[in-house]
Amino acid sequence: MKFQAIKGVRDILPPESALWNRVEQTAREVFGTFGFAEIRLPIFEQSELFARSVGQETDIVSKEMYSFQDRDESSISLRPEATASVVRAYIEHGMQTLPGNVKLYYVGPMFRRERPQKGRYRQFYQIGAEVLGPSDAPGIDAEVIEMLLAFFERLKLKGAVLSINSIGDKNCRPAYVELLRAELQKVREQLGADSQRRIDTNPLRVLDSKLEHEQVIIEKLPRIADHLCAECRVHYDEVKRHLALRGIAYQENWRLVRGLDYYMRTTFEITAPGLGSQNAVCGGGRYDGLVELLGGQATTKGIGFAIGTDRLMLSLQESPAGEVGGGLDVYLAWFGAAAQPVAIKLARRLRDAGFVVELPAVEMKFGKSLGLADRLKARHAVILGNDELAAGVVAVKRLPGKNPASEDAGYKGVQGLSFGDARSNVVIPTRSAFQDRRGTLSGFALWSRGPEGFLAALGMTMVRSLAN
């Protein structure tokens, strides 16, 4: 029997996984500078948590959740999103007593049984952040968006477009929804089956429709912007002012209602190129009533977003920013039983110094070994055979490596056995390697051949910059 991954889920393999790590690490760094800390949440929760928060009538809860009965007969669901869990945790751990607003981010998989296509999976990944606390100041909305854009900028994501909207609150939205429903009833027969159903269950969702023939009908529907109450209007105007203060460009999109029940006032979405119809890489909004709905204090407000990591990755891979560095710095080719223990120690030293080292586990013939170094796209082969061992040196062979074009041209002449002053033999050229890893350091490691012999010489030191 041959096993395959289940439909709609997939493996993320190297080297793509390196880009995933970089993206997630960048999120941690950028969000950290805005005072956010990570929350690690369970993968499954009581089904009721999602029914209550996301909404019984939403597609997510009614059609897409992976729910099952636990052995004690309680209903459990794999999380389709994480905001509900964050709010549950916030209440459960009494975080409302913490000073100021609580700022949390999460990274991890979500599960929805959707129809798989490019950018849409049944196990997909999100990086999300939430601000929970007593304040609903519009400056918070703007700062959350600023953080999001700072993250995309750090990743060099090109062509991201921010859309915003306000969908009112419990004072003004119900009347608008009824008005919308009444108008939709008039055109019911012209709408597709999904929209017809949504007239009854969730009329706002009709605005999300991408069906070609429904577009002209939707364009004529009443717009929430004309029906906001005074408080919501002021809040929305202030959000826009705070975005302007930060120099953030945005589009207003009155049809941006977001699928989930808990949103109110500010909603936003970011689209990116290269994604086809699934072009939203991030969605978010304010959800001031959610904490109360889940049993917390009525005075606690909330806002957050979730980035679709899979889609972000697709978009990054479309651009040069998606190229992953890394790869193998050193292929340590050893020949002869006596060389092996030396090679093992040398590999350890190099790894301690941050180099990526491949050490053949068994001895290979010279040609085969160096051939493998090539195929592994190692940047350097360090060669340690009987001659080298006797002389207390290693030979360094420069290989084309992974990104030959980006390599340091100035390095090209440095090859072979002896280089540098009389006391020493050059070992590992590391200008690019050091720059990769340490950002600013440049130089190369050199190991000197002292009277105490070869093994002692394995103590590598940085002696001078390659730029000299």
| Pattern 55-94, ligand AMP, x by CB under 6 A | --------------------------x-------------
- Name the residue nearer to ligand AMP (CB basis): 310 or 407: 310
52 contributes a contact to ligand AMP by CB under 6 A: no
Alpha helices in 264-398 (DSSP H): 290-293, 309-317, 339-352, 366-375, 386-391
Among positions 120-149, residues that touch ligand AMP (CB under 6 A) are 120-121, 124, 126
Rank residues 112 and 173 by Cβ distance to ligand AMP and give the closer one. Answer: 112
Residues 461 and 441: their CA atoms lie apart, in Å, by: 13
Two tokens at 58? Answer: 């939403």
Distance CA 222, CA 370 (A): 70
Binding mask 279-298 for ligand AMP (x = CB under 6 A): -xxxx---------------
CB of residue 53 vs ligand AMP: minimum separation in angstroms?
12
Distances (CA, A) of 223 to 101, 106, 205: 32, 34, 13
CB of 459 to ligand AMP, least distance (A): 50
Q: How wide is the angle at C-alpha 310 spanned by C-alphas 304 and 314, nearest 5°?
A: 120
Within 8 A by CB and 6+ apart from 125, the residues are 107, 108, 109, 110, 308, 309, 310
- Is there a contact between 87 and 98 (Cβ–Cβ < 8 Å)? no
Nearer to ligand AMP, 119 or 401 (CB): 119
Q: Which letter, b or e, does each residue of 364-401 get, where b requires 16 or more Cβ atoms within 10 Å of its Cβ?
A: eeeeebbebbeeeebbbbbbbbeebbeebbbbbebbeb
Q: Which residue is nearest to ligand AMP (CB)?
A: 308
272 binds ligand AMP (CB under 6 A): no
Nearer to ligand AMP, 81 or 288 (CB): 81
Q: Does 114 bind ligand AMP (CB under 6 A)?
A: yes
DSSP letter at 60 equals I
Are the beta carbons of 261 and 81 closer than 8 angstroms? no
Give yes or no for residue 329 binding ligand AMP (CB under 6 A): no
Output the smallest distance, CB 271 to ligand AMP, in A.
9
- Tokens 């809860």 locate to 61
- Tell me, by CB under 6 A, how many residues bind ligand AMP: 17
Contact flag: residue 304 with ligand AMP (CB under 6 A): no
Q: Any contact of residue 310 with ligand AMP (CB under 6 A)?
A: yes
Of the pair 127, 347, the CB lying nearest ligand AMP is at 127
Is 311 a binding residue for ligand AMP by CB under 6 A? The answer is yes
Closest to ligand AMP by CB, 129 vs 281, is 281
**Which range binds ligand AMP by CB under 6 A, 240-248, 278-286, 328-336, 419-427?**
278-286
Buried b (16+ CB within 10 A) or exposed e, 190-218: ebeeebeebbeebbbbbbbbeeeebeebb
Query: Which amino acid is present at 174?
Result: P
Residues 335-374 that bind ligand AMP (CB under 6 A): none
Asked if residue 15 has a cis previous peptide bond (ω within 30° of 0), the answer is yes
CB of 141 to ligand AMP, least distance (A): 16
Interface with ligand AMP, residue 203, by CB under 6 A: no
| Pair of tokens at residue 102 | 């609580």
Give contact residues for ligand AMP (rule: CB under 6 A).
81, 112, 114, 119-121, 124, 126, 259, 280-283, 306, 308, 310-311
